[in-house]
């Protein structure tokens, strides 16, 4: 798929306070951001949206920020920003997938962009994804872009649909020897445009039509694997995922989850088990459980000790204790 180059005459600011732009626009985009204690990162992300451009004929309908019961002042920092902002305040943390579904219900825009609060858009970060999703003859169902880390280096942001062998290879460190055994596409430099199984949810653009057809994200995934599950279900009905190597977005990574490493591990493993139950055979599900409960805690502990990180060892075993409690609670409340 070729990359179209747009002149400045074909671009317009994503949002202007006067209404002439939106009145002349025939197409619209909504951006959904889920926030949980991200501090200044959220404000910086929103500020970058106001400087990004859209193709002529497009308008930014809403920027919906769904706050999952944050305890910091991140929401108070954004209330005066000049954006078509909708703030949804949850009294409890409903999880990432559920909050994304909440945000997507606002408005009628043709395109939905799910954006992490630890991202920064550049001037042309939105242009090519929108054009590709709506105008390409082989238009994909989902579009992702090249993510740059805090040092400006390209991050690994595309993945294969995971199988049990990928989880086992990761636990044993075999993916470092044979990168093609890795879930993440670490064997590829992420510099060109190509179709992939799945793009990272930090920048996840899709059509409202496809999103509604799939009933949004599966809310059983509290966080992690919800975009993998969505991409797989999209693939099953013929919709593809495209990675745009020529479009960039800054992504710090771990904006909120880095503060709670034990809980982050618990959510990762719980979502992995849920994904395996939903999509794997009985044999693969058994291998996944073997990896989660035997191989992975041992390998994580050994690696942390080798690095001299006792705090990481504590986080690992706290994470597993939280996982046991979560699975037990789910088993006692399920009908």
Reported as a single tens digit per residue, the pLDDT across 161-191 is 999 999 999 999 999 999 999 999 999 999 9
198/226 same-domain check: yes
Pair 128, 143 in one domain: yes
pLDDT tens-digit map of 114-151: 999 999 999 999 999 999 999 878 899 999 999 999 89
Q: Are residues 238 and 130 in the same domain?
A: yes
d(CA 192, CA 172): 30
**CA–CA separation, 14 vs 280, rounded Å?**
42
Q: Is 228 exposed, middle or buried (0-12, 13-18, 19+ CB in 10 A)?
A: buried
Pairwise CA distance, residues 54 & 200, whole Å: 22
Tell me the helix, strand and coil percentages in the chain, rounded to 5.
40, 20, 35
Size of the chain, expressed as the number of residues it contains: 335
Any domain includes 181: no
pLDDT one-digit tens code per residue, 90-119 = 999 999 999 999 999 999 999 999 999 999
121 domain residue, yes or no: yes
**Band (196; pLDDT cuts 50, 70, 90):** very high
Domain hosting residue 274, numbered range: 257-329
d(C-alpha 141, C-alpha 230), whole Å: 11
Task: Provide the terminal-to-terminal Cα distance of the chain, rounded to the nearest Å.
Answer: 48
Q: Let me know whether 272 and 142 are in one domain.
A: no
- Please check whether residue 186 is in contact with residue 282, taking contact to mean a CB–CB distance below 8 angstroms: no
Residue 18: pLDDT over 80: no
Residues 142, 282, single domain; the answer is no
- CA dist 155 and 49 (Å) reads 21
pLDDT for 72-89, tens place per residue?
Answer: 999 999 988 889 999 999
> Do 241 and 317 fall within a single domain?
no
**Could you give the CA distance from residue 110 to residue 106 in angstroms, rounded to a whole number?**
12
DSSP category for residue 71: S
- Alpha-carbon dihedral sign for residues 155, 161, 167, 173: negative
Task: Tell me what the pLDDT averaged over the chain comes to.
Answer: 91
In a domain, 105, yes or no: yes
Same domain assignment for residues 98 and 150: yes
For residue 168, tell me if it sits in a domain.
no
Looking at 204, 228, 251, which one is the last position of a domain?
Answer: 251
| CATH number of the domain where residue 207 is located | 3.90.550.10
266 and 312 assigned to the same domain: yes
Into how many domains does the chain fold? 2
In a domain, 204, yes or no: yes
Task: Tell me which residue has tokens 């002529």.
Answer: 56
Helix (H) or strand (E) holding 278: helix 261-279
């Amino acid at each position: 798929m070729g990359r179209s180059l747009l002149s400045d005459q074909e671009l317009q600011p994503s949002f202007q306070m006067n209404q002439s732009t939106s009145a002349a626009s025939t197409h619209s985009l909504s951006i959904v951001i889920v926030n949980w204690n991200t501090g200044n990162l959220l404000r910086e992300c929103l500020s970058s949206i106001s400087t990004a451009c859209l193709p002529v004929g497009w308008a930014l309908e809403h920027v919906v920020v769904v706050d999952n019961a944050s305890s910091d002042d991140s929401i108070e920092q954004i209330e005066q920003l000049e954006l078509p902002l909708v703030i949804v305040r949850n009294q409890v943390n409903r999880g990432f997938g559920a909050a994304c579904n909440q945000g997507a219900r606002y408005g009628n825009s043709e395109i939905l962009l799910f954006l992490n609060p630890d991202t920064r858009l550049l001037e042309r970060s939105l242009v090519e994804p929108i054009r590709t999703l709506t105008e390409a003859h082989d238009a994909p169902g989902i579009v992702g872009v090249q993510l740059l880390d805090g040092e400006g280096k390209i991050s690994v942001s595309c993945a294969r649909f995971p199988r049990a062998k990928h989880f086992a290879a990761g636990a044993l460190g075999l993916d470092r020897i044979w990168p093609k055994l890795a879930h993440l596409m670490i064997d590829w430099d992420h510099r060109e445009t190509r179709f992939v199984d799945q793009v990272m949810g930090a920048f996840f653009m899709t059509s409202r039509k496809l999103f509604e057809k799939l009933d949004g994200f599966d809310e059983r995934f509290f966080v992690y694997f919800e975009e993998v599950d969505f991409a797989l279900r999209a693939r099953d009905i013929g919709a593809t995922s495209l990675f745009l190597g020529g479009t960039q977005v800054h992504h710090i990574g771990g904006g909120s989850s880095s503060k709670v490493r034990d809980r982050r591990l618990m959510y990762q493993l719980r979502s992995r088990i849920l994904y395996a139950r939903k999509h794997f055979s009985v044999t693969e599900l058994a291998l996944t459980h073997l990896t989660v409960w035997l191989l992975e805690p041992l390998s994580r502990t050994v690696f942390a000790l080798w690095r001299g990180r006792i705090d990481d060892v504590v986080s690992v075993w706290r994470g597993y204790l939280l996982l046991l409690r979560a699975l037990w609670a789910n088993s006692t409340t399920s009908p």
